[in-house]
Amino acid sequence: MNNDIENEEPAAPRPGISRRGLLGLLGTGAAGIAVGAGAAAAVAASTGVPTTRSYPFSGEHQAGITTPAQDRLHFAAFDMAASATRDDLRELLADWTYAAERMTRGLEVSETGAVGGPPLAPPDDTGEALDLPASGLTITVGFGPSLFDDRFGLADRRPAELEPLPRFAGDALVATASGGDLCIQACADDPQVAVHAIRNLSRIAFGRATIRWSQLGFGRTSSTSTAQATPRNLFGFKDGTANIKAEERQAVEDHVWVQADDDVPGWFVGGSYLVTRTIRMIIETWDRTRLEEQERVIGRDKGAGAPLSGGTEFSPIDFSAVGAAGQKLVDDDSHVRLAHAAQNGGVQLLRRGYNYVNGNDALGRLDAGLFFISYQRSPQQFVTVQQSLARDALNEYIKHVGSGLFAIPPGATEGRPLGAALFA
């Protein structure tokens, strides 16, 4: 396996969505006029959300990883249809590439879009983002371990480490939040834009792939840029203070991107491993815990987010600091200690999670928590940290109910749709 792409099957620059994709839309694909970003200014001004940001879909790496974390998420995992072939998969990825590239520019999924097509055909685009600009939309596509079974002739293309995560202490996983052949992470400043992306990509997949599970997130819980303030999770604590930031070029190279000298197939170089964990928070129990205990469990103070060893939010944590009675200031089983690179052989993750509330349960408790997302060069980074967290004092207040591992290929480039090298 190497990174040579000369012999790949041709993935010509596509003028639009494939015939199969258009069948999914039940549209006609006839040429028309592009609409979309037109009335953007009016709506943006009215909602108060400045939505002029846009990020290129194509490039060396996929966007949505080191991109400054947007505030809203719609994530979906897909399973390929039982009837889907290798060609279906390749064409689906090309169709997604075409539509995603357009949507991240604030355009509709095709040139005819929601209203530019023939009146006797269903519109190509569903239209709910018609007046909205790009809104910083990123669309990030990944491949689950199951995609590399014997269905699509890709068994020999599977990165060796792309296999289901081991079971962790306390896992309470449900199938409806775990696994999947494919995934799409859509992040945007405007939730309607993120939802529009998932909905339309799901529609384009019709007959080829179906949503297996999905999750909306409403508040980012990590900063991925030094320009971003640290947000709070639903425990009320600042989260992601020690996260890898995009500006830390060396750390990103070392910990996020799969490198040519890693033991991976060539198509995956420049990619990353994505881990998702749906972490339900038992917030009622947490809320009844005294402040001192909350801070001990986390290892930081709740107000400023400073480590209990002293200083301010961004002060290095002194894990050896002791108090007057000789007790460790940052407890042995505190979250910040067990999750920290210094305690895990230097392992770091690029975290990109979101707060979620999925209604309430039958007891009237909010079904709320953290949709954890991390990107890393190897799943072993996550495994190391998660195994370290087995004795995390926080475990009393959380339950991991969902889990996913995906290989994120490098970015699409001119004439080369996402994942094209998979089929070389």
Binders of its own copies among residues 41 to 80 (CB under 8 A) are: 42-43, 45-50, 53, 71-72, 74, 76, 78-79
Nearer to its own copies, 232 or 388 (CB): 232
Q: How far is the CB of 286 from its own copies (least distance, A)?
A: 8
Distance between CA atoms of 365 and 284, rounded to whole angstroms? 7
Helix ranges restricted to H, 2-83: 19-25, 40-47
Q: Which long-range contacts (CB under 8 A, 24 or more apart) does 189-192 make?
A: 189/49, 189/50, 189/51, 189/53, 189/70, 189/71, 189/72, 189/135, 189/136, 190/47, 190/49, 190/51, 190/72, 190/132, 190/135, 191/72, 191/74, 191/216, 191/218, 192/128, 192/129, 192/132
Nearer to its own copies, 203 or 255 (CB): 203
| 67, 185, 224, 294: which one binds its own copies (CB under 8 A) | 294
Stretch 372-401 residues interacting with its own copies (CB under 8 A): none
| 5, 26, 155, 322: which one binds its own copies (CB under 8 A) | 26
| 260, 291, 322, 390: which one binds its own copies (CB under 8 A) | 291
Binding mask 298-327 for its own copies (x = CB under 8 A): ---xxx------------------------
Stretch 198-217 residues interacting with its own copies (CB under 8 A): 198-199, 202-203, 210-216
Residues in the chain: 424
Is 288 a residue that touches its own copies (CB under 8 A)? yes
Nearer to its own copies, 12 or 120 (CB): 120
| 290, 320, 324, 345: which one binds its own copies (CB under 8 A) | 290
Element (H, E) at 212: strand 209-217
Residue 288 CB partners (closer than 8 Å, separation 6+): none
For its own copies, which stretch binds (CB under 8 A), given 38-46, 83-91, 96-104, 383-391? 38-46
| 283, 308, 407, 422: which one binds its own copies (CB under 8 A) | 283
Residue 176: name the closest of 248, 79, 321, 306 by CA: 79
Binding mask 113-152 for its own copies (x = CB under 8 A): -xx-xxxxxxx-xxxxxxx----x----------------
Residue 313: name the closest of 416, 215, 242 by CA: 242
| Burial of 2 per CB tally in 10 Å (0-12, 13-18, 19+) | exposed
Counting residues that bind its own copies (by CB under 8 A) gives: 89
